[in-house]
Amino acid sequence: MSGLILKDLYNIRKQAIWYVVMIILFSVLSIVLKNAAFAYAIGILVTISIPLAAIAYEEKDGWQKFAIASGMDIKTIVGEKFFLGVVFAIIGSVAYTIVVVIIGTEENRVTELIASICMQLLMLAAVLPIVFRFGAEKGRTYMIAAVVVLLAVFIAVMPLSGRIVGDEEIIFAVCMIVFAVLSVCISLFISIRIYKAKEF
């Protein structure tokens, strides 16, 4: 898998550098305006954009046909895209948590970090099967729809999470982690099935 990661990072190096810069800029903007929402939003955007860009390059270059013809393991191909998304989800969430600490909000820092990572993993889980099914270009519309729905759910649930305190907060965090991990596992399974069924 390390070879695939290096390949993708090389292909999307310009985008990756740009996204890291965007994370920094939006984090600074959040600090200046004392509103962590900007850092949170860019984290979600980066999490789904990085693997999407990698898949787009593969489709453009016809790499997928080469990979299948050479007998490359499909589980590894698909799993690497999820790995990329998870890595950037962690980077974006750490940046968001740093912003929250600097701003000095009253929220629990650990819970904020967990909630951010879990939300971005849910976005990743929703988007990647769509991209594998319809392609990087055709899947954009469906991807946007999925993101909008998840964001709406998140906005509706967040006020409720603010009422959770003490031991309930720990239980809530554990439930978020379990749900996010299960969602990613199910999404990975579905994505592998989709990739195997595709004709290149």
Full pLDDT tens readout for the chain, 200 residues:
788 888 888 888 888 888 888 888 888 888 888 887 788 788 888 888 888 888 888 888 888 888 888 888 899 999 999 999 998 888 888 888 888 888 876 555 677 778 778 888 888 898 899 889 888 877 777 777 777 776 676 666 655 555 555 667 778 778 888 999 999 999 999 999 999 888 66
Amino acid at 96: Y
Q: Is the pTM of this model over 0.85?
A: no
What does the block give as tokens for 56?
Answer: 């787009």
* Nearest of 109, 103, 98 to residue 23 by alpha carbon: 98
Block residue for tokens 């693997």 = 51
- Distance CA(164)–CA(79), nearest Å, equals 35
- Distance CA(132)–CA(193), nearest Å, equals 10
Asked if residues 165 and 108 have their Cβ atoms less than 8 Å apart, the reply is no
Amino acid at 117: I
